[in-house]
Amino acid sequence: MARNYDFDLFVIGAGSGGVRAGRIAASYGARVAVAEERYLGGTCVNVGCIPKKLLVYASEFAEAYEDAMGFGWSPIRPPFAWPRLIANKDREIERLNGVYERLLTEAGAQIIRGRAEVVDQHTVAINGQRITAEYLLIATGSWPTKPALPGADFAITSNEAFHLERLPPRAIIVGGGYIAVEFAGIFHGLGSNVTLIHRGAQLLRGFDDDLRTALADELRKRALGLRLETTIAKIERGDGGLAATLNDGSRIEADLVMFATGRHPNSRGFGLEDAGVALDAKGAVVVDASSQTSIPNIYAIGDLTNRKNLTPVAIAEGHAVADSLFGGRPRTIDYENIASAVFSQPPIATVGLTESEARARYGAVEIYKSVFKPLKHTLTGRDERALMKLVVDQKSQRVVGAHMMGTDAGEIIQGLAIALKCGATKAQFDATIGIHPTAAEEFVTMRTKAS
């Protein structure tokens, strides 16, 4: 490692990916600095996966109280205190911020608070200083996007949703992706009257069509207002709160409007283009398989590169960069069969190919599907269905896709992701004896082809 620079590696962005890269590089003996202008842990820890999952847990209690009557408990609906939930959430996030700080400092990395900008391929400017490094790693993530429409400034994004002073009695969520679906469930479960507006014909583009349809049906059962093929034309503020005018001319009044209409790579204002780092039309940093940019000693990872925008992927990319540059183990990431989940209500999870993707890739496929009422709800009386689906390449008999909607979908699909990564066949699924009674056993007992 060259010693004529201040550092061997300078990381811009202390999100999950940047922290992992910095920590691993430092553990190999590299001199590492990590710059962060906001909060340690990035989006996931502060305004993303972790606090969102905590709010999902909170929102599930309302149904749990209702379901308890089926198991002999007296009906009860204790009052809910939004400020207490937010305070408890904030305390946990503060603890995690400290964990991330310790991960870096104990590994020997230096944390620099402030906004770092790239001056040239070996130099960054921060807090009035210029610092040099042999390698730069850009890990600045993504940022919520608001549509350009009249009154958009009256609306919030997911960033602000975690810090509201009160629970909105009436909420409009705009979007059809996982953030929109999850927040619609959160606000609805906590007691808000929620309308979910999406311009598309169905929610969750990119997921298996059976999952998309099944989840929309479940949301409607919960009396959550779902307006598909609909957009907002403008938002106005009045004495009673906000009013959203839709593309059909109708109006919906609300106390809060939240846009969850996508995120854009957080690449502007860091000097990247001036330094010669190539960006694509969406502002994502262009990288090769090793996360190297158009400048050989500058690397980029995570949502900034708009490859597979998931926290564990950013972590894996950061680890791979550190291994490649400082660990003597050059390697790249395999993006096939990465599992993902949406913590909707009920949750969904998936790994591998959707049915349509599999047909496009393999031609002939076999589909196995099971739709059933979960055992729990045989006593609660709740009209909820679980869905499980396997997609099999007919020629090789490999299971190339596994999809689920239902309680603990994420926990179950995580295990199946290992099987798909190992190339498991349908016969091997069939030879596996299930755990009874569980929902997960359906994945090893489906024998009848749906198509």
Give catalytic residue positions: 436
Q: Which helix (H) or strand (E) holds 24?
A: helix 16-27
How far apart CA 300 and CA 277 sit, in angstroms, is 10
Check if the beta carbon of residue 204 is closer than 8 Å to that of residue 178: yes
Q: Which two tokens stand for residue 85?
A: 């939930």
Sequence-distant (≥ 6) Cβ neighbours of residue 198 within 8 angstroms: 174, 175, 176, 180, 226, 227, 228, 229, 230
How far apart CA 224 and CA 192 sit, in angstroms, is 10
Sequence-distant (≥ 6) Cβ neighbours of residue 377 within 8 angstroms: 67, 383, 384
Q: At which residue do the structure tokens 């990431």 appear?
A: 333
Q: At which residue do the structure tokens 């190539």 appear?
A: 278
The two most distant CA atoms of the chain are separated, in Å, by: 72
List, in sequence order, the alpha helices (H) in 363-433: 377-380, 409-421, 426-431
